[in-house]
Amino acid sequence: MAWFRDQHEAARGAAAALGRRIGLGEQRTAEMVIAVAELAANATKHAVDGSVLLRVLRDEAVAGVEVVVVDSGPGMADVPAALRDGMSTAGTLGIGLGAIRRLADTFDIHSQPGLGTVQLARFWPRPLPPSVARESLVAGITRPISGEQVCGDAWAARADTNTAAPSAGQADEMRATPPDSPTRPSWSALTGTQPFGGKNATLRPSYARSGVSGRSSMPVRAAVAGPGQGFLVMSCDGLGHGPLASLAAQNAVHAFRTGDARTPEQAIEQIHRALRGTRGAALAVVRIEPDGRLLFCGVGNITAAVVTTETRSTLISHPGIVGHQMHQLRTYEHHLPADGILVMHSDGLSERWGPTDLAGLLHHPPALIATALLRLVGTRRDDASAVIAKMAR
């Protein structure tokens, strides 16, 4: 993974080396290099603060390359017109965005006049492996502080299948009650557990912005994984920046991926043990169930929220440093609607964003949404990361 800022020739050379290194194939690598050269040249010559990200994507069988291009203006007033053949800005290769879309296995773009453009293209070996045909439900982006080559922020995701079925009474009640019904039983009711009360249930104050809610969830005791295949998502911010922060973050990723945790609390406990002797980290882990039930546990200043076109509901983290000192862990329950997204980001992004900032992005791939959020409220004075999760449709 590498960022290139105003370095279109360096991005082109890195793309060629990357394609050869992962075995993309001579023809496919050449096509990717052509696309990268055009995208990078556009960002450098005709945009403001244009940057190119190259990174390797992998599944169990193959590796591919993802190209993300982001800038802060001037944006495109008519994206469909820009995608038509024959449309290309002066001084570039002249192949146009329409040709790039045909060369890439996946291509997506979001542009807003005066704000900028985010473009995403993926290149896999040919023939296209069936395993990569569908868009991932989770994706994120990281960017190191200016002047550093490594990032102290990280994210990871993994699937987890629970073969234990709910009781007959629980199953009947779940089938009879719509997912968004106010009378639908809570996770506490389904699992026979009781929520915390009193002072332990104090919630973060509401964020002072239209459509943003601070009270988002109910704490649940002894939370357990629901039936079916859910997935766990982790966001981590190693303390400080540079190699030592990166070491803490990568240790957290390794512990998360290799651990056997079923719940967010279990995952954080395992990562806490793995980070002893490191700088430590702020950390948040969420489990999303097939029906949209969301279990969240966070320690430190990772921002997490469920976002729809009109609302932002903040999830609650507690003070502490994973790997050093944590208070009692608490899991909070929420619901991720089919048309919403889960956002988690480090303090390298400001919290000064609301649902209206992302409303026009929710139908795009998670990686593009994460990049757009980084462009909107990210800072170069700290490591930055954002991760987005969606429900399967």
Helices 243-258, 264-274: inter-axial angle, 10-degree rounding: 130
Sign of the C-alpha dihedral computed for residues 92, 97, 98 and 99 taken in this order: positive
Count CA within 13 A, CB hemisphere, residue 38.
21
Among 299, 317, 287, which residue's Cα sits nearest to residue 252?
299
Same domain? For 217 and 365 the reply is yes
Summarised one tens digit per residue, pLDDT across range 296-315 is: 999 999 999 999 999 999 99
Query: Residue 367 has what pLDDT?
Result: 96
Q: Do the beta carbons of residue 14 and residue 4 sit within 8 Å? A: yes
Please give the single-letter amino acid code of residue 338.
A
In a shared domain, residues 240 and 321: yes
- For residue 140, being part of any structural domain is answered with no
Q: Do the bridges between strand 320-321 and strand 312-314 make them parallel or antiparallel, or are there none, so unpaired?
A: unpaired
Q: How many domains does the chain have?
A: 2
Helix (H, G, I), strand (E, B) or coil at 171: helix
Is 56 found in the same domain as 16?
yes
Cis peptide, bond prior to residue 182, ω within 30 of zero: no
Which residue, of 83, 105, 134, is where some domain finishes? 134
Residues 279 and 367 occupy one common structural domain: yes
Question: Who wins on pLDDT, 128 or 373?
Answer: 373
Please report whether residue 44 resides in a domain.
yes
pLDDT band with cut points at 50, 70 and 90 for residue 266: very high
159-163 mean pLDDT: 81
Q: What is the CATH number of the domain that holds 58?
A: 3.30.565.10
Pairwise CA distance, residues 320 & 327, whole Å: 7
Pair 371, 324 in one domain: yes
pLDDT at 327 over 60: yes
Nearest to 373 by CA among 134, 2, 352, 391: 352
Domain boundary residue, one of 134, 161, 179: 134
Domain span holding position 325: 153-390
* Average per-residue pLDDT for the chain: 84
pTM, full prediction: 0.83
The predicted pLDDT at position 87 comes to: 52
**Confidence tier at 86 by pLDDT (50, 70, 90):** low
108 and 157 belong to one structural domain: no
Residue 301 DSSP one-character state: S
The highest-confidence range among 60-64, 86-90, 163-167, 317-321, by mean pLDDT, is 317-321
> For position 218, what pLDDT does the model report?
63
Residue-wise pLDDT for 6-53, tens only, equals 788 899 999 999 999 999 999 999 999 999 999 988 887 777 888 999
8 Å CB contact between 306 and 339? no
Q: Are residues 378 and 310 in the same domain?
A: yes
d(CA 284, CA 334): 15
Does one domain contain both 159 and 198? yes
For the chain, give the percent of residues with pLDDT over 90.
62
Residue 148 located in a structural domain:
no
Residue ranges of the alpha helices (H) in 26-167? 26-46, 79-82, 96-103
Do 278 and 339 belong together in one domain? Answer: yes
Overall average pLDDT of the 279-287 stretch: 97
The answer to whether residues 270 and 262 touch, using CB atoms and an 8 Å cutoff, is no
For the stretch 312-341, what's the b/e string if a residue is b when 16 or more beta carbons lie within 10 angstroms of its beta carbon?
A: bbbbbbeebbbbeebeebbbbbbbbeeebb
Instruction: State both tokens at 145.
Output: 């502080």
Whether the per-residue pLDDT at 251 is higher than 80: the answer is yes
For residues 370-381, average pLDDT: 94
Of 69, 103, 134, the residue at which a domain comes to its end is 134
Per-residue pLDDT tens digits for 122-150: 999 988 888 887 888 999 999 999 989 89
Cα gap 250→256, rounded to integer Å: 10
Long-range contacts of residues 7-10, Cβ cutoff 8 Å, at least 24 apart: 7/40, 7/44, 7/52, 8/37, 8/40, 8/41, 8/43, 8/44, 8/52
In a domain, 46, yes or no: yes
What CATH number is associated with residue 329?
A: 3.60.40.10
